[in-house]
Amino acid sequence: MNPLTFRKANLTYFLFFLYFIAGSVGISVLNPSMNLYVLLNELILVAPPVIFFTWKYKRKQSIQSFLRLNPIGWKTALVSMIIPIVMYPVIAGLNACVISMLPSMPKTFDNVNLMQQLNFCIGLLGVGILPGILEEAMFRGILIRGMQHKSKRFAIVYIAFLFGMFHMNPYNFVAPFLLGILLGYLLYTTNSIIPGMIAHATNNTIAVIGVALLGNVQKPTQSTPMPSSMPPSVIVFAVIMVLLLFAFSIWVTRFLFKKLKKWNPQPLIEYEVIEEEKEKRKNRWSYLYVSVPFVCYFLSILFLTKLT
């Protein structure tokens, strides 16, 4: 029997969130270099909770079975790398749309500026590879175990929401949220967390490489004249081309998921149980574990935004 219920999963996220916040403050007090900070961020703030909660909830299961570290074929691994590349324009584009509707971004939340301070190899390890492994183990390895008696869509979207909020950046919430949905479907399609780890690491690596290339591009000076307004026809054409690119990316992704289903004929099983009214009430109250850090987080964001 799986000891990780929906209520316990919410509590686990709450404890993990508090530990991460407290640890982030503690590391910031030490004032480490950005290179050291991103490594400590994963090795000190994410890895220990993953190890602890895996040990706590796996019971008699092996670690491989509990985290669903089921082996995959090379074709599945390759497609797991291709999918985030194909979907990157969609995820980044929608995230950019949301950013354009928010107030001017404070430097605190400017991930591009922060990543430009990283050594390239440290960035690949601390932003690309380690989060791909450790964060997937936490969210779609451990926490999603508490969703096994919920519907597949609820489990995927809910964990993706927690994953997006975990990044503690309103300017970078949509991208992790959409990526989390993609990673959740990979888990349910292949019954293995490994494709999600590969896809997560690939997505983050694209960002690291993109920031590195962006750093080599000379930024225009303030005296550079702004281009004149584009004609409406050009704007309409650009919008149509972007929408066509989005549609093509989604079509290719759907096609690749069909291939994954064919290569992995035993998807993750959905359990259906009838919850007692008492258990339902406990589950509803457990949302408070998530709402408390959610409210505190966004109140602090509003405060920081007003200071900038």
Segment 96-113 shows an average pLDDT of 79
pLDDT of res. 290: 75
DSSP state of 109: G
| Mean per-residue pLDDT, 221-233 | 60
Average the pLDDT over 73-87 and give the result.
Answer: 96
Choose between 248 and 215: higher pLDDT: 248
The pLDDT of residue 266: 75
Phi, psi of 18 (to 5 degrees): -65, -40
Average pLDDT over residues 59-73: 92
| Residue 220, burial from CB neighbour count under 10 angstroms (0-12, 13-18, 19+) | exposed
Q: What is the dihedral of CA 242, 244, 250, 252, to 10 degrees?
A: -120
- Distance separating alpha carbons of residues 283 and 275, to the nearest angstrom: 10
Which of 162, 182, 184, 183 has its CA nearest to residue 173? Answer: 162
How many whole angstroms separate alpha carbon 74 and alpha carbon 56? 32
